[in-house]
Structure 1
Amino acid sequence: MKQMFINGQWTHASSQAAADVTNPATGEVVDQVPYAGRAEARAAVEAAHAAFPGWSRLSAEERAEYLRKIYRLIVEHADHLAEVMTLEQGKPFEEARGEVLWGADFMLWYAEEARRVYGEMIPASRPTQRILVQRQPVGVVAAITPWNFPSSMITRKLAPALAVGCTVVVKPAPETPLSAIALFELFEQAGLPKGVVNLVTGDSQEIGREFLENDKVRKISFTGSTQVGKYLIEQSAAQVKKLSLELGGHAPYIVFEDADLDAAVEGLVFNKFQNGGQTCICVNRIFVHESIAAAFSEKLTSKIAELRIGNGMEPGVQIGPLIHERALSKVAEHVEDALAKGAGLLCGGQRLLEGTFAQGYYYSPTVLTHVTEEMKIFHEETFGPVAPLIPFSSEEEVVQAANQTPYGLAAYFYTKDLARTMRVSEQLEYGMIGINESALGYVQAPFGGVKQSGMGREGGRHGIDDFLDYKYLNLNF
């Protein structure tokens, strides 16, 4: 059984309660972790609060050196971290290793950004006055991370927080706590002062309530559903806590008639089937111009037929299982609803149950055609390996349809027309847009959405702002 990490010590829940961690590829229990609650969360917050003065007073270069140590340790142990992730989350080993290394890059990036937290001197109103602006760390940060990227979402939140002088309590998703524990073992090796980083596993509601009600927590950073994000906004209002929220998405993928079809298909397969379709910026609605719909569908189904599905620990596997039975049921519900309302099925459309698939949560890569607004999949995030194709006839029509959602995280489109590129990118109501490209996760870029997809940004120089407060000094002499 694994342990939590509080105030520099590995510890069990005070109740000795534990929770199983299950491999979604086999249904087998991988390990157990403490099932903690408010008391342990409070202890972690107290530890972070006590550590904050000393950590925040270190020089930027001293904090940066800790981040560089962590970066080197993650790279050194990338294979182990990837194996842990595959066993508890299901994504193929090579994909998991890619996530681990991407997560490491946040440590390296923010080690450099630590030295660029600049202040200002503003022209004063009289000769004996100086107006200064400082940027200071907000204090204790509670980071709540998701199961679909259980390693990189920790480092993406933790790196900028540590860089500017904040201390952190991490609450990982109950499905994937082992990746967090494996990272914290490396944080301990890096020699971080006790209390600077803390890890609590267990009852999400109880731990979350402590984060919301404890006035020593000055900021909450959350990645997850819009429903939970709204709850955090409501409950944090009593103390006016600072929030960063990366919430749900419903990404459109538009293929115009002049697009490079091979590139568009290649980009779609990478984006749609990465992590089995379980990503927040995953394509959910694929709009294809009616003049190329047949050719695009043929190329897409041919490419999907080459994908290998299976246990992520097996060499060559490209698509692993879904995370659990509930996820699989939602995918099946969306597909069945679409077919019942007139959609066509080009491939897939079923749970895989034969042989080695029997004990896991596998769903066949699926392509639906003639998807319409009456279907659930047009409006709801599927979070699975289903590609719904929607024909369109004009630019105006497709932009309007793409924006027809309360979400605004990511959007993609393919075209060779520069004027159209400018028009469409300006009209799409999304925080991130891929143009002839389906990858958006770069450490130097600001990741985040608009509308009900959240607030704040992670990554790049912009990602450091949400961990800082501005202080205005009116100096007179």
Structure 2
Amino acid sequence: MSELKVTNPMTGEVLDTVTLAGAEEVQKMVDLAVAAEEGWAATPVYARAEYLYRFADALEKDAEYISQLSAKDMAKPIVQARGETMDGVKLLRAAAERAKHLYGEVLSDSGPGFEGDLVFTKREPLGTIACIIPFNFPIELTFQKIAPALAMGNTVLVKAPSANPLAVLALDKYAKVAGLPEGVLQFFTSDHEAVNEHIIANPKVDAISLTGSTAAGKRMVKAGADTLKRTFLELGGNDALLIFEDADLDRALDEMVTSRMENNGQVCCSSKRFLVQRSIYDEVAKRLVERLTALKRGSALDEEAAVTALVSERAAKEVEEQIRHTIEQGAELLCGGTREGARVEPTVLVNVTPEMDIASDLEIFGPVFPLIPFDTEEEAVRIANNSIYGLSSGLMTRDMNRAFRVGSKLKAGGAVVNGSGGYRHLDQPFGGYKQSGLGREGISISLEEFSHIKVYVVKGAFN
């Protein structure tokens, strides 16, 4: 085993030191989870729900501690960290409720030869599920995975992000307060080699749920291919927000800033390409700069700060290089473009053309606003769809016929009318087209994703 120093990305202060689980420790956790499978699967749904309610109550009681820890761990603005923690509480309770009301079906005798037979379906757990958590929404995305997985009777292994593991690892305390049986839910962090060999490629692990980059998703699918385990992948995005000339511009600017500046631009489904109809292009650019300039800069614990820092200085340097690359391709820098440590100033790039990397497949995980002009609906749709990604999308217009006409042509997992693709209802089936992922996540669908459907037949039951 080795140790990892976890630092505050804004100050460099060492917050804590955590132990990285080695190959032997990871294998022991898998074995413990597998040993707990039968008992947890046999636990009645209503009893599993009670564990989740207790987990939610314990987390809610200590929500400020977890929020502060998460904010310091990755420089997320504290107000956003609090919202994320409470989403975790809501997800636990929602999964418990849905599990108690998730019904099977009784099939009809729809053809000759089936008269008198009883045919019905029932949901059963997959087994052991490994959940790999990203750095950007560590609390919410932990519970997007573990709440439905536990509710359906699976045992769960949670790999915390190495960049900011503290808040996720601290959740183990509340699982213990809830009284979850040994082996049912385990938290750890480790190096990639141990995870690949003893989690992803391990035949004892029945499914993997990953939120991360598209490149990481591809590596995971390859590593787990020999065991044909189920994979649920929430991956990258370069989502477009289409702003038409008839849009409410104040509302459009609100959506642009709120979506892209959340978590300092480190959001998979935030709008990252801004397609603006040419007749309003200059006005939108001017007013956007004014909005971004007015945002308060500060520390993660500053209640009013909207601009804090990225998860690390290395991440900030990568964004800085991507900005430089886009300018070298011909874009014009209107504001921002500078970096101080792990903080990147909100950046507006104009005269961005569809041929530039940022207009298609270059996903920038930072506060960068590339403005791409268009003239017609058809052109806007063509630019928006010209990407390997298709996570979500948004469009701003007062014309509802246009909204649904254009929305139906966008190759993405969501189309938000008069809002950005960053919209995420906790219940919605969330996931993307193309290389933005496999499967869907959300209370309305995750319980089904994390379970087998079994058919039971009683021949001649009614004869």
Taking structure 1 as the reference length, the TM-score comes to: 0.93
Q: Within 5 Å, give how 1:90-239 maps onto structure 2.
A: 90-124=75-109, 125-239=113-227
Task: Please tell me whether residue 41 in structure 1 is matched to residue 40 in structure 2.
Answer: no
Per the alignment, residue 285 of structure 1 pairs with 273
Report the Cα distance in structure 2 between the residues aligned to 1:330 and 1:410, rounded to whole angstroms: 24
The answer to whether the 8 Å contact 1:52/1:196 transfers is: yes
Q: Which moved more, 1:374-383 or 1:297-306?
A: 374-383
- Partner residue of 1:350 out of 338, 353, 376: 338
By how many angstroms is 1:103 displaced?
A: 1.8
Contact 1:441 1:447 in 2 (8 A): yes
The residue type paired with residue 149 of structure 2 is A
Partner of 1:356: none
Q: Which amino acid aligns with 1:471?
A: K
* Cα-to-partner distance string for 1:162-205 (whole Å, 9 max, x where unaligned): 11111100001101110112211111111111111011212123
Query: How far is the alpha carbon of 1:340 from its aligned partner?
Result: 2.2
Contact conserved, 1:44 with 1:200, CA < 8 A, in 2? no
Question: Hey, what's the Cα distance between the residues in 2 that align with 1:84 and 1:126?
Answer: 59
Q: Which segments of 5 or more consecutive residues in structure 2 lack a partner in the other structure? A: none
Task: State yes or no: 1:397 paired with 2:379.
Answer: yes
Q: Give the unaligned 5+ runs of structure 1.
A: 1-14, 353-359
Q: Deviations over 1:125-148 (max 9, x none)?
A: 333432222211111000001000
Secondary structure at the aligned position of 2:224 is classed as: helix
Q: Which residue of 1 aligns with 2:64?
A: 79
Residues 332, 350 of structure 1: 8 Å contact kept: yes
- Distance in 2 separating the partners of 1:203 and 1:235: 15
Residue 271 in structure 1 maps to residue 262 in structure 2:
no
How many residues get paired?
455
**What is the CA–CA distance in structure 2 between the aligned matches of 1:222 and 1:232, rounded to whole Å?**
9
Paired residue for 2:427? Answer: 444
Work out the CA distance in 2 between the residues paired with 1:185 and 1:102: 18
Q: 1:208 to 1:309 in 2, by over 3 A?
A: farther
CA deviations on 1:220-279 (whole Å, 9 max, x unpaired) are 000001111112222222111011000110100110011000000001100001001001
Counterpart of 2:307 (choices 296, 301, 319) is 319
Alpha-carbon distance between aligned partners in 1 of 2:26 and 2:123, rounded to the nearest angstrom? 28
- Cα deviation digits, residues 21-68 of structure 1 (max 9, x gap): 111111221111111122111111111111111111111111111111
Q: Which deviates the most, 377-386 or 367-376? A: 367-376
1:418 paired residue among 389, 400, 413:
400
| Inter-partner Cα distance in structure 2 for 1:126 and 1:257 | 60
Q: Distance in 2 between matches of 1:467 and 1:21?
A: 32
> Could you say which residue in structure 1 is the equivalent of 2:362?
380
Q: Where has structure 1 moved over 6 Å in runs of 4 or more?
A: none
Q: How far, CA to CA, are the matches of 1:209 and 1:370 in structure 2? A: 47
Is the contact made by 2:200 and 2:223 (CA closer than 8 Å) also made in structure 1?
yes
Letter in 2 for 1:362: R
* CA-to-aligned-CA distance 1:270-326 (integer Å, 9 cap, x gap): 000100100101221100000011111122111111111222012321121111233
- Conservation of the 8 A alpha-carbon contact between 1:40 and 1:200: no
Give, in angstroms, the shift of residue 424 of structure 1: 0.9
User: 1:209 Cα shift?
Assistant: 2.1
